[in-house]
Chain A
């Protein structure tokens, strides 16, 4: 697995010297800054109707404003992982080095998780700001970040798989956007369907997932789901990369 570490290190090095990294990180923070401001304004004006919810629980998945940017940012961050190597031809050098496909995929996936964490790290400042003006439920905040990490494990694995399957970065981004968009839309079924279908949609719902974690409830069903999807997507990525030699 030393190969995975070497692959990861290069991926991160290349990402953080690329203009893409800074465009993404900056626009991400601008978006979230606006969202956080809107939420604090909303809760300040509607203190009664918001009940037990706080700006922080609203911020962490309480609104669609949390998911809409993710559906765009995740594909942009994952598109380059393998499809970028295909486009530049460097995949030939990578796959003829004495490293296994599993090492390559684990390395790329590990790097994408680090990027995911870097994306969220600056949002800790919102919790700090709240703590300066009132009380913060640090347990709920910790579980929110755990929820975000698990969601990232799931999203980044899906994006990685699309990057393995797609011939170019743009196609990888579009595929990841569509797949994540569909998975997000499935969660809406919770509000419009009945019976078993409703149960299934609720279980798959990213929305329910984040709302639960934002309240401080660590629901193991969501953890199992996230890591199952991540394991499946990573496994399929390894398989697809192996199959490429026969293509």
Chain B
């Protein structure tokens, strides 16, 4: 379970995330949606302890993620945006390293299981830097799954995947439904409709919607367009 209360983050004088509050129930799959620069990555980085919030509270399975960060991080599997990996390592070496860092018991079994779940068994002895982007993305997913965490936080997990891989990824995430709590950020609306129980939309650092896809008459695309463009002048950058 993820509980976020009045979370804010400032970079210098710029307010990147402003008083965002939401909950993700155990076993729920929630999409975190917003235009580029809305504060999605900043929010996820605060949840995972990479950034400290300027104010607000975060609870991961009831553990205060700000004051008891390491214990909260033990509950999380995180796939950062762009999936940074040690390029010089072999896939299984990388997973063993990350598993050891997360104090996973039975490392060999855990690595095999993560490789299988993410569908990257065929590249287990390949060097990470020589893999295609789609494979690297899935190695990142295997890494997030290595400790079998109850909560997964995935930042744009399908960017760089081909349509078949996207489909496999969605099936995998759906298979976690009810077992793992998943929060995934994306700007692909069809992805949210395909896998998420619920969607949280943020714009310019503020939460503007918390809804279930399929609720009401209008499509998610229309909701998104309305919520994220109305009253906003075209961003020159």
The verdict on A10 contacting B86 (CB below 8 Å), with A97-B102, A245-B50 known, is yes
User: Are A18 and B88 closer than 8 Å at their CB atoms?
Assistant: yes
Could you say which residues of chain B place their CB within 8 Å of the CB of A100? 70
The 8 Å CB contact of A98, one of B45, B87, B103, is B103
User: Are B101 and A246 closer than 8 Å at their CB atoms?
Assistant: no
Interface: B27 (CB within 8 A): no
Pick from B52, B84, B93 the residue with the most CB of A within 10 Å: B84
CA distance A2 to B105 in the complex (A): 13
Could you say which residues of chain B place their CB within 8 Å of the CB of A97? 73, 98, 101-102
Closest partner residue, chain B, to A246 (CB atom): B52
User: Are A6 and B97 closer than 8 Å at their CB atoms?
Assistant: yes
Interface: B120 (CB within 8 A): no
Interface: A122 (CB within 8 A): no
CA distance A50 to B93 in the complex (A): 54
CA distance A13 to B49 in the complex (A): 27
User: Are B80 and A3 closer than 8 Å at their CB atoms?
Assistant: no
User: Are A90 and B50 closer than 8 Å at their CB atoms?
Assistant: no
The 8 Å CB contact of A14, one of B49, B78, B89, is B89
Interface: A46 (CB within 8 A): no
Closest partner residue, chain B, to A88 (CB atom): B84
Which chain B residues (97-144) contact chain A, with CB distance < 8 Å?
97-98, 100-103, 143
User: Are B74 and A6 closer than 8 Å at their CB atoms?
Assistant: no
CA distance A18 to B129 in the complex (A): 13
Closest partner residue, chain A, to B66 (CB atom): A245
User: Are A93 and B76 closer than 8 Å at their CB atoms?
Assistant: no
The 8 Å CB contact of A96, one of B80, B89, B97, B103, is B80
Interface: B51 (CB within 8 A): yes
The number of chain B residues touching the other chain, given as a range, is: 20 to 34
A200 → chain B closest CB, angstroms: 40
The verdict on A95 contacting B50 (CB below 8 Å), with A3-B101, A14-B86, A18-B88 known, is yes
CA distance A2 to B99 in the complex (A): 12
Closest partner residue, chain B, to A92 (CB atom): B80
Interface: A230 (CB within 8 A): no
Could you say which residues of chain A place their CB within 8 Å of the CB of B102? 97-98
Could you say which residues of chain A place their CB within 8 Å of the CB of B143? 93
Interface: A99 (CB within 8 A): yes
The verdict on A90 contacting B84 (CB below 8 Å), with A6-B101, A245-B52 known, is yes
User: Are A89 and B84 closer than 8 Å at their CB atoms?
Assistant: yes
Closest partner residue, chain B, to A89 (CB atom): B84
Closest partner residue, chain B, to A96 (CB atom): B48
User: Are A96 and B73 closer than 8 Å at their CB atoms?
Assistant: yes
User: Are B86 and A90 closer than 8 Å at their CB atoms?
Assistant: yes
CA distance A97 to B103 in the complex (A): 10
CA distance A90 to B80 in the complex (A): 9
Interface: B214 (CB within 8 A): no
Could you say which residues of chain A place their CB within 8 Å of the CB of B100? 2, 6
B47 → chain A closest CB, angstroms: 9
Pick from A91, A92, A95, A246 the residue with the most CB of B within 10 Å: A92
Interface: B37 (CB within 8 A): no
Could you say which residues of chain B place their CB within 8 Å of the CB of A3? 101
Which chain A residues (17-68) contact chain B, with CB distance < 8 Å?
17-18
Which chain B residues (62-81) contact chain A, with CB distance < 8 Å?
70-71, 73-74, 76, 78, 80
Chain B interface residues (CB < 8 Å from chain A): 45, 48-52, 70-71, 73-74, 76, 78, 80, 82, 84-89, 93, 97-98, 100-103, 143
Top 4 nearest A-B pairs by Cβ distance?
A89-B84, A245-B52, A98-B73, A96-B48
A-B contact pairs, 11 of them (CB 8 A): A2-B103, A89-B82, A89-B84, A90-B85, A92-B45, A92-B80, A96-B48, A96-B80, A97-B101, A98-B74, A245-B50
A-B contact sample (8 more), CB < 8 A, given A14-B89, A96-B80: A10-B86, A10-B89, A88-B86, A89-B84, A90-B85, A93-B143, A96-B48, A98-B74
